């Protein structure tokens, strides 16, 4: 019998995505759709440095106490290469954590389930590694920002 591989993660960079106020689009029987514009931001870490290009957004759906996220935006590396980013995931928190967050308090990654999965696309050779692996993110909100530590699944 062969040994099963245990997953491990490599930290590659942090996204600090600047966002504007959410816009409520509408609701269905069990969900409520919103859009949050992305207005810029930065990328920094051991494997990538650059900026988040203004103009993308996050279409998110509230279903009960869980938010399903679907963000699409661009990153421009410091050498000018452009990287397409699709980031999907989930956000949920206990009521007391939500209350503290919405009152302007801070919360830690442990207190808030804010996890994402990435798909990157680029034709820039130095960044092909982004389009050839799976990535996961651990996110946290900061005033006017969504901060996501990005890890490559080995």
- The predicted-structure confidence for 60-89, as pLDDT tens digits, reads as follows 999 988 999 999 999 999 999 999 999 999
Mean residue pLDDT of the chain comes to: 95
- Give the per-residue SS3 of 104-148: CCCCCCCCEEEEEEEEEECCCHHHHHHHHCCEEEEEEEECCEEEE
**The pLDDT value given to residue 30:** 78
* Closest residue by Cα to residue 139 from 103, 89, 73, 97: 89
**Domain covering 9-153, topology:** Porin (2.40.160)
Distance CA(118)–CA(3), nearest Å, equals 28
**The pLDDT value given to residue 29:** 76
Average pLDDT over residues 94-113: 88
**The pLDDT value given to residue 38:** 98
**The pLDDT value given to residue 152:** 98
Q: What pTM was computed for the model?
A: 0.92
Reported as a pLDDT band with limits 50, 70 and 90, residue 25 is very high
10 forms bridges with which residues in the sheet? 152
Phi, psi of 50, deg, nearest 5: 170, -155
N-terminal to C-terminal alpha carbon distance within the chain = 22
């Amino acid at each position: 019998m062969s040994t099963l591989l245990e997953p491990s993660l490599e930290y590659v960079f942090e996204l600090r995505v600047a966002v504007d106020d959410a816009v409520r689009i509408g609701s269905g029987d069990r969900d409520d759709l919103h859009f949050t514009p992305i207005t810029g931001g930065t990328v920094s870490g051991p494997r990538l440095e650059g900026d988040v290009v203004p103009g993308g957004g996050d279409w998110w759906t509230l279903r009960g106490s869980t938010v399903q996220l679907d963000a699409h935006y661009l990153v421009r590396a410091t050498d000018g290469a452009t990287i397409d980013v699709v980031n999907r995931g989930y956000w949920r928190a206990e009521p007391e954590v939500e209350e503290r967050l919405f009152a302007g308090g801070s919360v830690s990654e442990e207190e808030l389930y804010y996890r994402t999965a990435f798909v990157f696309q680029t034709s820039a050779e130095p960044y092909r590694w982004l389009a050839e692996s799976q990535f996961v993110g651990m996110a946290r909100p900061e005033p006017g920002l969504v901060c996501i530590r990005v890890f490559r699944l080995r």
